[in-house]
Chain A
Amino acid sequence: MAIHRLSASQPYLPVLLIVEKKMVEAVALIDTGAFMTAIRPDLIARIGAQQIGFELFSQVGAAPRLESTHYFNHRLGLGSQDFASQEFAVEALSVSPASPCDVLIGRDLLSRWVLAWDGPGDRLLISY
């Protein structure tokens, strides 16, 4: 089992998005309220991720929408240009997060991780 120790004071995490041999570093936010991982559409276009589906999603106070989904592999960032070796296959919605980040890490991905949030100790432990 891999255990990664990150800072809990920073809201954003570095991640590496991988499509075949292309890799793009991106900024992600863990969103426990998101049912599904989402990635900015322009980033999806830039890396050329394969569209694999079309899913229904809803936002608070807005009508449900259908939007395309794309296949990525995802690696967690551990520090300056250091990334975990284990990849996770993800089906990501093509929609822009409201927060200033590229990726919302949703419960589809979080369901494969164990998170321990230590606020006073400024530690976020992620294991899988």
Chain B
Amino acid sequence: MADRPEDRETRSLNEVTTGTIKGPASLADSGILSTDLLPGTFVDWRTIDPSTIEGTNVPVEELQTYRENIDELLRSHQGQYVLIVGREIIAYFEDFESAAKHAEREFRGRSLLVKKVAQFQQVHRIGGMMD
């Protein structure tokens, strides 16, 4: 088996994942992620229950729709960008800009989700941020 960093992280995450999150700051507490993250860490969206995410403006319905449809999305639209509004998958796009422009034009002000269809989502490392 290939010993790529993403494979190692994926195995590790799958082994410890519980599927619940208590809040945006408690991912590590839930066991979904390690605190000593290395660049290139990935998380499987199947393991995150959006209804347990605390915080404002969380697109819970859209994230739930993405999670529930991820296997079908991966089969037919991997690498594309999906636009989800509420429980409805609106459209697929080849690039981010097309998806974002369509979302802004047609659904401005509404809760929505533009997401690249991928099995594993990268955890974005950003150093110079305020707490």
How many residues of A sit at the interface, in one of the four size bands?
A: 35 or more
Q: Does B113 belong to the interface (CB within 8 Å)?
A: yes
**How many whole Å from B82's CB to the nearest CB in chain A?**
11
Q: Mark A29-61, 1 if CB is under 8 A from B, else 0.
A: 101011110100000000000111111111110
Q: Mark A70-106, 1 if CB is under 8 A from B, else 0.
A: 0100000000000000000101010111110000101
Give the residue among A54, A57, A59 with the most B Cβ atoms within 10 A. Answer: A54
Within 8 A of A (CB), among B40-88: 41, 43, 53, 55, 57-59, 63
How many residues of B sit at the interface, in one of the four size bands?
A: 35 or more
Report yes or no: A99 in contact with B26, Cβ–Cβ below 8 A: no
Complex formed: what's the CA distance from A89 to B96 in Å? 8
Residues of A within 8 A of B (CB): 20, 29, 31, 33-36, 38, 50-60, 62-68, 71, 89, 91, 93, 95-99, 104, 106
